[in-house]
Amino acid sequence: MLSSPAIHPPRSVARGAALAALRADPAARLTSGRELTRRRADGAAPEPLATGLEPLDRLLGGGLPRGRLVELVGLHSSGRFAAGMAAIAAATAGGETTALVDLGEGLEPAAAAAAGAVLERLLWVRPRNLKQAALSSEMLLNAGFPLVVLDLGQPPVAGGRGPQAVWLRLARAAASHGAALLVSAPYRASGTAAAAVVLSSRTRPAWSGSGGAPRLLTGFHSQLALDKQRGGGRPPGRALLTVRAQQLIDGRLPGMPARGGRAAGAA
Amino acid sequence: MSRLACLFVPLFPLAARLRSEPELAGEAVAVFHGNGSAARVVAASRRARQAGIRAGMSPSQARAVLPKLTARGRDAICERAAQQALLEIAESFSPRIEDSGEGVVYLEIAGLERHFPGSTPEQELGHALATAADKAGLTAWVGVAGSKLAARVAAEQPGSPTLVTEGGEAEFLAPLPLERLSPEIEVLATLQRWGVHSLGELARLPANEVSSRLGIAGQQLHQQARGLDPRPLVPYQPPPVFEEGLELDWPLVSLEPLLFVARTAIDRLCRRMTARGLACSRLGLSLRLDPGAWIERLLRLPAPTVQARTLLTLLRLELEREPPGAPLTAFRLRGFPDRPRSAQLSLFGPAALSPDRLATTLARLFTVLGPGRIGSPRPADAHRPEALSLVEFEPPAPPRETSEAPRGRGLMAVRALRPPLPVEVVSSTGEAAGQPSELLEVLPVSSAQTERRPRIGGRVQVASGPWLLEEEWWSRRPVERDYWDVELAGGGLYRLYRDRRSGDWFVDGIYD
């Protein structure tokens, strides 16, 4: 019995709350680990996977919902790739194994590591077309990956939008395995299969320096708009996403290049 | 006193063939040794024997007796694989086994009776061994005795398993003729001159007298006749690879028939690895081309697996990618074993992936995408932003408890363009290396390039740079680039560079 005094006090809040709830239930007579996990699962809805980007999490009600397909739509420099990187960084730093199905092959490993991603927990899949990308994503969802980020890259996407049935299959695979599926696309692709759609549109870049002084790209802002949310009854909302260059976050001096190599500075 | 079991496969060349070609079971089949008219029957199925086929017949004699006879040559690959399978069966029962070749394996069974708690543990063990061999596609007989010779003779008796009671070996062997010991001709002749014709008569002679007259050879024969082993069990060392294969009776020119026969070989390979708790990490493929050259391939798997379907798909892709180029007369598959991945799952931490399922998924992805398309990314030892390396994906165990998700850094990310997109740049100063003022698209040479290339061009609003990057100046292909960050009139932010050596401009990233 779990009420035995031999049980050590829990260390984390989550574990403590789970054990306290079980102790409070006089009918709790657990005979196996499976029973314990089932009771935990029955007790509360699965927590969404936070992306770590406060505006996006706020729009989605806490993060990427598990068992749902969320589509993030935006063109060049809309912060779409940065949002995907943030979701991967938050999930891998929290101990989750994550897959990036990267149709545009746009990942720079050093930049992903700088964004906080634990690369050991990140599986990078580089399909050649949408058909391969969808097939890979479905396999990964069925394998039990808790977060799969499917990035379609920049237009033109090899394979176009793909048939609607593909997206319905992916949504069903995510639902049956309780996984979060983030589809990052330059245009609406998943149609009715998406549980939530967030539109990302660029607003203005931020440059430091003016006049004759050297200019330095310090980040940009983009507008996030919740275009669709199924089931939750949440009204469409907007939020401003700000992403900044690494040297500003790390406290480097303006003018010092973030990229490696024998950078000689502004000429 | 030790107790030994002998696992014996009668008509081993035929049994090995039937294991590789199970569709021949029940047919009139004969296995020949040798080539052309010099070939002789070494084993024949029951149906063939009933029709009159006997060992030593030539092909023409056998055809005259039974025109519909299915003839097969001895297949060294099949027999080696069957012998390996027999050894693995024995090893699954006892850690001390000896490989005697040609369908014979000895096991030390002392102490195994605890696994068979019935009234007749050795009988049950014998039945279990025969059943395990049957599952592996081999019909084996079992004999149990105190010495190897007695166990072997017992295994050859009908009504398997045959048990020889402890101390009863000499009596059991006594009626056998001396030839059963395969003595040297001179020794045999001497013994026959003495009027010794059976093992019982030899065993009754005084040991020291036999030894003084016939030397070491005579001493060993005397020991064997008395049911003693002149040398102990020679422990078997398992080979580092698992091998299956087949010599084909006629050359194969297309892929499908080859995959059909390879499928059963892969099935057997996976079953053998599963039985030993191992998985295949690499698959070696040897193909013998007509008229005789061998080609070797090695298929690397991203993670160890024992899924036959996955291995077969890999094999198909490899052969489709690079066909052998000539008819095939034999193939050999070698599975390099590795420990299957395992992980301790946590009740309170994030859900971990099943290692076995992950390995299978990775292997299937590998078959869909091809090599170099999946893995765990790592920063390469280079300064060029596009440089990367992929390593095998082996995620560490998840933390024991779920923690709060870390707050995001909101870091600007660059979407790399692979390969970089060539552009024409108009400089505000008119110099080739001056500050960009306008980007012009370069029309692609072929329509295939158009398919994947984003369209980037327009007037430059803001430009920042140049940032110089030099790398590998000591090599034949040094990298010298001037990097610029630009904002176009449409609002897009791009990273472009000018190759100092060629003077060409490229967009290699989109700030996104």
- Contact between B88 and B276 (Cβ < 8 Å): yes
Find residues 341-370 of chain B whose CB sits inside 8 Å of chain A. Answer: 347-354, 357-358, 360-361, 364-365, 368-369
User: Does the CB of A131 have a partner CB in chain B at under 8 Å?
Assistant: no
Give the Cα-Cα-Cα angle A214, A215, A221 (nearest 5 degrees): 165
Please state the rounded mean pLDDT for residues B235-248: 85
pLDDT at B452 over 90: no
Nearest to B332 by CA among B280, B367, B297: B297
The CA-based dihedral angle spanning residues B428, B433, B439, B443, taken in that order and rounded to the nearest 10 degrees: 140
Tell if the CB–CB gap between B368 and A135 is shorter than 8 Å.
yes
Find residues 142-161 of chain B whose CB sits inside 8 Å of chain A. Answer: none
A chain contacts of residue B464, beta-carbon cutoff 8 Å: 207, 214-217, 266
Mean of all residue pLDDT scores within chain B: 86
A253 vs B122 pLDDT, higher one? B122
Give the nearest chain A residue to B509 (CA atoms). Answer: A106
Give the nearest chain A residue to B383 (CA atoms). Answer: A261
User: Does the CB of A133 have a partner CB in chain B at under 8 Å?
Assistant: no
The rounded distance, in Å, linking the Cα atoms of B349 and B127 is: 47
B270 vs A258 pLDDT, higher one? B270
Which of A67-71, B77-81, B451-455 shows the lowest per-residue confidence on average (mean pLDDT)? Answer: B451-455
Phi and psi at B423, nearest 5°, equal -135, 160
Tell if the CB–CB gap between B454 and A135 is shorter than 8 Å.
no
The CA-based dihedral angle spanning residues B83, B85, B90, B96, taken in that order and rounded to the nearest 10 degrees: 70
Instruction: Classify B88 as helix, strand or coil.
Output: helix
Plot region of B165 (φ>0 → left; ψ -120 to 50 → alpha; else → beta): beta
- Contact between B107 and B97 (Cβ < 8 Å): yes
- Contact between B35 and B49 (Cβ < 8 Å): no
Give the nearest chain B residue to A262 (CA atoms). Answer: B469
Find residues 404-423 of chain B whose CB sits inside 8 Å of chain A. Answer: 404-418
pLDDT at B438 over 60: yes
pLDDT digits over A220-263, tens only?
888 999 888 876 555 668 888 888 887 655 544 333 344 433 33
The rounded distance, in Å, linking the Cα atoms of B194 and A53 is: 100
Give the Cα-Cα-Cα angle B20, B21, B23 (nearest 5 degrees): 150
Q: Which of A86, A136, A202 sits opposite B369 (nearest CB)?
A: A136
Instruction: Classify B51 as helix, strand or coil.
Output: coil
A chain contacts of residue B386, beta-carbon cutoff 8 Å: 108
DSSP per position, A67-133: T-EEEEEE-TTSSHHHHHHHHHHHHHHTT--EEEEETT----HHHHHHTT--GGGEEEE--SSHHHH
Most B-contacting residue of A36, A60, A108 (CB-CB within 10 A), to test interface: A108
A chain contacts of residue B418, beta-carbon cutoff 8 Å: 105-106
Q: Which of B369, B379, B452 sits opposite A132 (nearest CB)?
A: B369
A chain contacts of residue B347, beta-carbon cutoff 8 Å: 33, 36-37
Please name the amino acid found at residue B170.
A
The rounded distance, in Å, linking the Cα atoms of A125 and A137 is: 9
The rounded distance, in Å, linking the Cα atoms of B156 and B164 is: 13
**Entry pTM:** 0.65
Find residues 4-23 of chain A whose CB sits inside 8 Å of chain B. Answer: 11-12, 14-15, 18
The rounded distance, in Å, linking the Cα atoms of B332 and B314 is: 15
Instruction: Classify B147 as helix, strand or coil.
Output: coil
A chain contacts of residue B493, beta-carbon cutoff 8 Å: 76-77, 205, 217, 220
Tell if the CB–CB gap between A143 and B361 is shorter than 8 Å.
yes
User: Does the CB of A217 have a partner CB in chain B at under 8 Å?
Assistant: yes
Count of CB pairs separated by less than 8 Å, A with B: 279
- Contact between B238 and B302 (Cβ < 8 Å): no
Which pLDDT belongs to residue A25?
Answer: 58
Tell if the CB–CB gap between A76 and B512 is shorter than 8 Å.
yes
Nearest to A115 by CA among A123, A125, A107: A107
Tell if the CB–CB gap between A217 and B384 is shorter than 8 Å.
no
Q: CA B5 → CA B41, B90, B148, B233, distances in Å? A: 29, 10, 8, 11
**Band of residue B277 on the pLDDT scale cut at 50, 70, 90:** confident
DSSP per position, B367-423: HHH-TTSEEEEEE-SSSSTT-EEEE---PPPPPSS--PPPPP--B--EEEEEEEEEE
**Band of residue B140 on the pLDDT scale cut at 50, 70, 90:** very high
- Contact between B98 and B86 (Cβ < 8 Å): no
- Contact between A78 and A184 (Cβ < 8 Å): no
C-alpha distance from A18 to closest chain B C-alpha (Å)? 9
Instruction: Classify B213 as helix, strand or coil.
Output: helix
The rounded distance, in Å, linking the Cα atoms of B376 and A125 is: 9
Which pLDDT belongs to residue A8?
Answer: 45
Find residues 297-316 of chain B whose CB sits inside 8 Å of chain A. Answer: none
Long-range contacts of A37-40 (CB under 8 A, 24+ apart): A37/B347
Q: Look at the block and give the residue holding tokens 């048990």.
A: B163
Predicted ipTM of the assembly:
0.78
A chain contacts of residue B348, beta-carbon cutoff 8 Å: 12, 14-15, 18
Please state the rounded mean pLDDT for residues B276-286: 88
Tell if the CB–CB gap between A97 and B401 is shorter than 8 Å.
no
Nearest to A87 by CA among A74, A76, A103, A72: A72
- Contact between B343 and B355 (Cβ < 8 Å): yes
Give the Cα-Cα-Cα angle B264, B267, B270 (nearest 5 degrees): 155
Give the nearest chain A residue to B485 (CA atoms). Answer: A217
Report percent pLDDT > 90 for chain B.
Answer: 23
Nearest to B122 by CA among B132, B133, B109, B131: B109
Please name the amino acid found at residue B183.
P
pLDDT digits over B305-353, tens only?
888 888 888 888 888 878 888 889 999 999 998 887 766 666 666 667 7
- Contact between B222 and B207 (Cβ < 8 Å): yes
Which pLDDT belongs to residue B105?
Answer: 94
User: Does the CB of B205 have a partner CB in chain A at under 8 Å?
Assistant: no
Tell if the CB–CB gap between B401 and A51 is shorter than 8 Å.
no
B chain contacts of residue A256, beta-carbon cutoff 8 Å: none
B chain contacts of residue A135, beta-carbon cutoff 8 Å: 368
Give the Cα-Cα-Cα angle B312, B315, B320 (nearest 5 degrees): 125
Which pLDDT belongs to residue B507?
Answer: 92
* pLDDT tens, chain A, 267 aa long: 333 444 444 455 556 666 666 566 544 555 666 666 665 555 556 788 888 888 899 888 888 999 999 999 998 888 899 999 999 999 998 888 999 999 989 999 988 888 888 999 999 999 999 999 999 999 999 998 999 999 998 887 777 788 889 999 999 999 988 899 999 999 999 889 999 999 998 778 888 877 777 788 888 888 999 888 876 555 668 888 888 887 655 544 333 344 433 333 333
Q: Which of A11, A94, A120 sits opposite B395 (nearest CB)?
A: A120
C-alpha distance from B242 to closest chain A C-alpha (Å)? 28
Please state the rounded mean pLDDT for residues B115-121: 84
C-alpha distance from B455 to closest chain A C-alpha (Å)? 8
Please state the rounded mean pLDDT for residues B348-362: 73
Find residues 462-501 of chain B whose CB sits inside 8 Å of chain A. Answer: 462-471, 483, 485, 487, 490-494
Q: Which of A77, A116, A220 sits opposite B409 (nearest CB)?
A: A116
B chain contacts of residue A261, beta-carbon cutoff 8 Å: 383-384, 468-471
Which of A209-218, B261-270, B400-409, B429-438 shows the lowest per-residue confidence on average (mean pLDDT)? Answer: B400-409
C-alpha distance from B313 to closest chain A C-alpha (Å)? 16
Structure tokens at B413: 């990310």
Nearest to A215 by CA among A202, A230, A205: A205
Residue B50: CB atoms within 10 Å: 11
Please state the rounded mean pLDDT for residues B220-233: 86
Which pLDDT belongs to residue A203?
Answer: 74
- Beta strands A147-151 and A238-244: pairing type? unpaired
Which pLDDT belongs to residue B292?
Answer: 76
Which pLDDT belongs to residue A19?
Answer: 64
Please state the rounded mean pLDDT for residues B380-403: 79
Which pLDDT belongs to residue B173?
Answer: 87
Please state the rounded mean pLDDT for residues B210-214: 89
Give the contacts of B298 (CB within 8 A, at least 6 positions apart).
B282, B283, B284, B285
User: Does the CB of B454 have a partner CB in chain A at under 8 Å?
Assistant: yes
- Beta strands B328-338 and B294-305: pairing type? unpaired
Tell if the CB–CB gap between A246 and B412 is shorter than 8 Å.
yes
Q: Which of B395, B412, B492 sits opposite A97 (nearest CB)?
A: B395
Rg (CA), chain B: 35
Find residues 222-261 of chain A whose CB sits inside 8 Å of chain B. Answer: 241-246, 249, 257, 259-261
Which pLDDT belongs to residue A26?
Answer: 46
Which of B212-226, B293-307, B486-500 shows the lowest per-residue confidence on average (mean pLDDT)? Answer: B293-307
